[in-house]
Structure 1
Amino acid sequence: MNFRATLTALTVVATLGVAAPAADGRAFDPVTAARTWPSTADGFAATSGNGLSTTTGGAAGATVTVTTYADLVKYATSATPYTIRVNGAITVTPYGTEIKVAANKTIVGVGTSGHIVNGGFFLGAGVSNVIIRNLTIRDTRMADDDPDDKLYDYDGIQLDTAHHVWIDHNRVIRMNDGLIDSRKDTSYLTVSWNVMAENNKSFGIGWTDNVTARMTIHHNWIHDNNQRNPSTDNVAYAHLYNNYLQNITGYGNYSRGATKMVIENSYYDHVKDPYYPDTTAQLRQSGSVCVSCTGKRTTSGSAFTPGSFYSYTLDPAADVPSLLRTYAGPQANIGT
């Protein structure tokens, strides 16, 4: 490499502030000016519990490529482990169907080509070790629904007492109920580098009296939504960091019930009630930025120490909007 090329590469690295792999496995290639991404989970999805040591998805099985709805359903619902590469836009039928994903699966879009249209995914009780990655999941909105999404339950991704799940680098938009609903006793969940946008309900967590769930929510661009961004009810450990909330009209990060929530280095832009707890919940916040926000910015209690469970790297809050506009959602170098 000549002097000019070397200088250019060093300038790119200095500008993005990434000169070496981060604790979550991210790395930066100064020649291509692109990030590379690990194929294994981080956060609580990478920790042990419920009989599993980490989340590997379908790594133990064969890799298949699907271009039709029939093949997607065939492999996603199989009892056999698979890595399922989605290459192209697949339309779900009947409209609004949530594909019942079985354990030990990776479902990953090929570059930016993988779209799930008019439907989503469902992970039921006991389903574990699932990765949903690099997909655009979109468009189940119904014109005749009431404003609060009571008539149709067409979620992007719904989890009911699943565990060890990694939801990463997806774009989930314009669904008729929740974009992501982590329900009942779903645990060991990491939701990272996703775009969740253009919806009434974004990300609901709860529907249980038990306080056992552990989840990590980091580097998500959550924008142009109303409520549940997320609403987090009865979660033992909820770690939210480096998220970018923008144009939120209802409320932002809400710690409910007996939840212990830690928020770090997030960025709130035009958000109503950016973060706050119930009287019974805990919420500890540090390092975040609020721009043109209104309403509640309150904390309560010490919550917990995420670093006692896993290692992670915080990006500066001021860098979060640019970082997530570039790298949240499907990436051309994942799934290929």
Structure 2
Amino acid sequence: MTTTFPTRRRWWLAVPAVVLGGSLVGVPAAGADPGSPSVPAADARAADWPDAPDGFASTGGGTTGGAAGETVTVTDYAGLVRYATADEPYVIRVDGQIRVEPLGTEVRVASDKTIIGAGADAHIVGGGFFLNEVSNVIIRNLTIRDTRMPDDDPGDDAYDYDGIQMDGADHVWIDHNRIERMNDGLIDSREDTTDLTVSWNILNEGNKSFGIGWTDNVTARMTIHHNLVSDTNSRNPSIDNVAMAHLYNNHLRDTGSGNWSRGSSNTVIENSYFQDVEDPYYKDADASLVQRGSIVVDSDGRRETGGSAFDPGAHYSYTLDPADDVPALLDDGAGPQADIGV
């Protein structure tokens, strides 16, 4: 049985509908009329959110996640694990709140998967995701939260409970999520993870926000744009040994550190907004950091640039928003959205 209906979200493909937990998952037809009156009102802003990643995740064949496979809806932890770890491609819609057991477990995600919240109220509570040497994964429109341990030391070292950890992964898109109150890193991109785009997320209330590196190689490429990072202490992000790191239109607010280009990284920062940030942007001696167009307010400490870095526009097309528009843009558009995944 196949059910189709018009949609503006072209990442859905016409694949079999699947029933899980008593609900029928309808699959929109590709190329459907975007002006159809049957499109839900909540989808009115869908055109604001691209159907596919931009940045480095769009290069080298792109990142499509589970679009080649079936679309399923999951409402419990067992269903999430079943489809996330499967060998076959899947688009996995998360409906409602799923509690991870035991606390701190990171669900291992296999290649060719899309895990997407069905609207703005999809939560992964008490755990996160682990992408270990996999390719072509999309994690989108989820709130991932609450593994913080009250008895941990201040460095969050005793319990390695990350929001999203990637080791040796490639072609990954992390988009429109809210990740907060995790005991270790909110996002860790490790061991040469590459062709990564992190866009329109809220990284909030954490000690370690976004760590990148854990390698002596300088091969990784990543794009980090339109993210709100607030109330975090360190790694905002910390960028170690990345060949090409392009950061633009991000808003850092009330953070204990800023954008740090480490090791031999080559970093370009454009049109971002730093507010109440210690050391807004800075670099190691062997790293490159080019900054242009950003705004810094109520912030102290290092603002260091140097080196030639690289030209992001030689690798993909992108459009910069004015830096002074960034706080309002992200307050409205970052994090999970009601019109994504519906």
Per the normalisation by structure 1, the TM-score is: 0.88
State whether structure 2 residue 229 is matched by structure 1 residue 222. Answer: yes
Where does residue 34 of structure 2 map in the other structure? none
Counterpart selection for 1:148 from 130, 141, 155: 155
Q: Which amino acid aligns with 1:307?
A: G
What is the 5 A alignment of 1:30-41? 36-41=48-53
The aligned counterpart of 2:54 is: 42
For residues 69-88 of structure 1, the C-alpha deviation after alignment (integer angstroms, 9 at most, x for no partner) is: 00000000000000000000
Of 198, 209, 215, the residue aligned with 1:202 is 209
Other-structure match for 2:7: none
Instruction: Give the Cα separation in 2 of the matches to 1:33 and 1:288.
Output: 27
Which residue number corresponds to residue 30 of structure 2? none
Q: Is 1:259 aligned to 2:271, yes or no?
A: no
CA distance in structure 2 between the partners assigned to 1:81 and 1:287 by the alignment: 41
Corresponding residue number in structure 1 for 2:253: 246
- Match in the other structure for 2:283: 277
Root-mean-square deviation (Å): 1.2
Match of 1:75, as an amino acid? Y
2:176 to 153, 169, 174: 169
Contact 2:119/2:337 (8 A) holds in 1: yes
Q: Which runs of 5+ in 2 are unaligned?
A: 1-40
Amino acid at match of 1:154: Y
1:150-202 Cα deviation digits (max 9, x unpaired) = 10000000000000000000000000000000001100000000000101000
Q: How far has the Cα of 1:229 moved from its partner?
A: 0.2
Shift of 1:326: 0.4
Deviation of residue 260 (structure 1)?
Answer: 0.2
- The Cα shift of 1:36 comes to 2.8
Could you tell me which of 130, 138, 144 is aligned with 1:137? 144
Q: Aligned pair in 2 of structure 1 residues 101, 33: CA closer, same or farther (>3 Å)?
A: closer
Match in the other structure for 1:294:
300
Q: Once the 2 structures are TM-superposed, how far is the Cα of residue 232 of structure 1 from its aligned partner?
A: 0.2
Q: Unpaired segments of 5 or more residues in structure 1?
A: 1-28
Match of 1:119 in 2: 127
- Is 1:319 matched up with 2:325? yes
Which residue does 2:198 correspond to in 1? 191
Shift in Å at residue 233 of structure 1? 0.1
* Structure 1 letter corresponding to 2:135: S
- Stretch of structure 1 that moved more, 186-195 or 33-42: 33-42
Equivalent residue letter for 2:206: N
Q: What is the CA-CA distance between 1:33 and the residue it aligns to?
A: 6.7
**2:98 pairs with 1:86:** no
Query: TM-score, normalized by length of structure 2?
Result: 0.87
Deviations 1:304-323 (Å, cap 9, x if unpaired)? 00000000000000000000
SS across alignment from 1:323: helix
Q: Tell me which amino acid in the other structure corresponds to 1:274.
A: P
SS in 1 for 2:282: strand
Match status 1:306 vs 2:312 = yes
**Cα pair 2:108 2:129 within 8 Å, conserved:** yes
Q: Partner of 2:187 in structure 1? A: 180
Structure 1 pair 175/310, CA: closer, same or farther in 2 (3 Å)?
same
Number of residue-to-residue matches in the alignment: 301
Q: Does 1:59 align with 2:67?
A: yes
Aligned twin of 2:8: none
Residue among 159, 163, 167 paired with 2:166: 159
* Identity between Structure 1 and Structure 2 (%): 67
Q: CA deviation at 1:225?
A: 0.4
Rounded Cα–Cα distance in structure 2 between residues aligned with 1:262 and 1:137: 28
Question: For the Cα contact (< 8 Å) 1:36–1:333, is it kept in 2?
Answer: no
Question: Could you tell me whether the CA contact under 8 Å between 2:46 and 2:340 is conserved in 1?
Answer: no
